[in-house]
Amino acid sequence: MRRFSTRLAVAGLLPGLLGGCYSYRPVVSTPLPSSKVSLVLTDNGRAEAASRIGPQTARVEGAVVEASDSAYLLSVSAVQPITGQLVRWSGETVTVRRDQVALLSERRLSKSRTAVFAGLVVGVLAAAISTNLFGIAGSDVPVIPPGEGGGQDQ
């Protein structure tokens, strides 16, 4: 039971650790295939992409399938309208011409965010263990060996 509680606690924190420790950094060269990128579209790019991606799309996120001198082929994971929440996609491929992209950023692991988050996780787990929050700290019930008043007839 104790192992289950610990594993459950770690499993609950893991998605936050993995998702919260990334940031987008501007790219100066052509991204490699399978790189996670974010494309901020130009005004012309929004107008041109409206029929394929949706009206008023400001940003497209996804994995690079192929990058040529003139366009990016993306496996789209999300799009964000100018006014609205991020809309998840399930990997449909979309071609976006380079001249329609105002800013290209690549998703990278942020060492500083990872260090801060890891420190917080260690602190929270240490506090939880020291207060017996998960029931994994030492037992407060004393163990009395048999023959010393342990309830057996002598």
Local confidence band at 10 (pLDDT 50, 70, 90 cut-offs): low
Q: Give yes or no for a contact between 135 and 1, defined as CB atoms under 8 angstroms apart.
A: yes
Taking residues 78-90, what's their average pLDDT?
Answer: 94
CATH number assigned to the domain with residue range 24-108, chosen from the 4 options 3.50.50.60, 2.30.30.100, 2.115.10.20, 3.30.230.70:
2.30.30.100
Q: Mean pLDDT throughout 59-83?
A: 96
Confidence of residue 144 (pLDDT cuts 50, 70, 90): confident
Cβ neighbours for 92, distance < 8 A, ≥ 6 positions apart: 75, 76
pLDDT digits (tens, 9 = 90+) for 23-55: 788 888 889 999 999 999 999 999 999 999 998
How far does Cα 9 stand from its chain's mean position?
A: 17
d(CA 103, CA 90): 23
Closest by Cα among 107, 112, 118 to 38: 107
N- to C-terminal Cα distance for the chain?
A: 34
Domain limits of the chain?
A: 1-21+110-138, 24-108
In the block, residue with structure tokens 């207060």: 131
Residue that has been written with the tokens 């790219």 in this structure: 27
As a whole number, mean pLDDT of residues 127-148 equals: 65
Cβ count near 45 (within 10 Å)? 22
**In which band, very low, low, confident or very high, does the pLDDT at 74 lie, cut at 50, 70 and 90?**
very high
Give pLDDT, residue 71.
Answer: 96
Nearest Cα residue to 32 out of 63, 71, 77, 75:
63
How are beta strands 36-41 and 57-67 bridged, if at all? antiparallel
Q: Six-digit token pair at 76?
A: 């789209």
Per-residue model confidence (pLDDT) at position 1: 47
Q: Rounded distance, CA 26 to CA 105, Å?
A: 4
